[in-house]
Amino acid sequence: MDKGQTSRHTKSEIDLLKKTFGGESYELYALRNLLWQFPLTEKDKKHLNFKPEVLKLLKQLLLPKNHSEIPISHVTNQQNLWMNLNYIKDFSPQGANYHFEAHDILIRFVEQQFHQLVTGTESKDIILEELPLETGSIREEQRFINMMAYHKICTYLTGRINEIFTFANTPDELTPEQQKAKELANSTE
């Protein structure tokens, strides 16, 4: 943790995100394509060869774990992946269990896709586009679970891609001298 750190990520981690995914870099598109199980082009595959420190940071973003180096106000960020129980607190145990099962599918899916990112080995244990399909052979409850899982995965992936984009494209903070120069330039326009 950096001195005075207020976000879950250190300045060097934010700088790494900016260097890897900032501006018009194609790497974020390639990562998105992998996570969403879109067919990967040769261009995608070329842009998915991340250095170990980038993979470590992506794991922290996609599969967060709490640890003692996280600033106090950001310990709950892990709930992005783990389920907030507030909205199901009044459900029956069986109804709540459907949500748990859907969330388990979300976690397994993200782990599956991250494994592909790291190893290059494609796994299709969970195929995103097949989750909402009616196959005729699954029980009603499983179809309901699959539909919830599909929506949870889509929401989660969208959030993480947007989070990476935001971190990677947020302007650096200005030093007091730079701020004064900017204010002076703006006052003369």
Rg (CA), the chain: 20
The fraction of the chain above a pLDDT of 70, given in percent, is 79
Calpha distance 15→12 (Å, rounded): 5
- Overall domain count for the chain: 1
**Through-space distance between the first and last CA atoms of the chain, rounded to whole angstroms:** 41
- In-domain check, residue 74: yes
The per-residue pLDDT for 178 is 64
Q: What is the pLDDT of residues 45-69, one digit of tens each?
A: 999 999 999 999 999 899 987 666 6
- Domain coverage including residue 15: 11-170
- In-domain check, residue 125: yes
| Per-chain mean pLDDT for the chain | 84
- In-domain check, residue 24: yes
Q: What is the pLDDT of residues 13-29, one digit of tens each?
A: 999 999 999 998 999 99
Residue 4 has pLDDT above 60, yes or no: no
Average pLDDT (25-38) is 97
Residue 111 has pLDDT above 60, yes or no: yes
Q: What is the pLDDT of residues 163-178, one digit of tens each?
A: 999 999 988 776 667 6
Encoded amino acid at 12, one letter: S
Residue 81 neighbours by CB under 8 Å, 6+ apart: 62, 63, 64, 106, 107, 110, 156
- In-domain check, residue 161: yes
Residue with tokens 């992506």: 58
Cα 56 to Cα 47, 51, 53, 117: the distances in Å are 16, 9, 5, 11
The per-residue pLDDT for 5 is 46
The per-residue pLDDT for 158 is 96
- In-domain check, residue 185: no
Q: What is the pLDDT of residues 128-159, one digit of tens each?
A: 999 988 777 678 899 999 999 999 999 999 99
Residue with tokens 């003692």: 68
Dihedral angle of Cα 89, 73, 52, 106, to the nearest 10 degrees: 10
- In-domain check, residue 180: no
- The pTM for the full model equals 0.81
Residue, of 102 and 186, whose pLDDT is higher: 102
Band of residue 188 on the pLDDT scale cut at 50, 70, 90: low
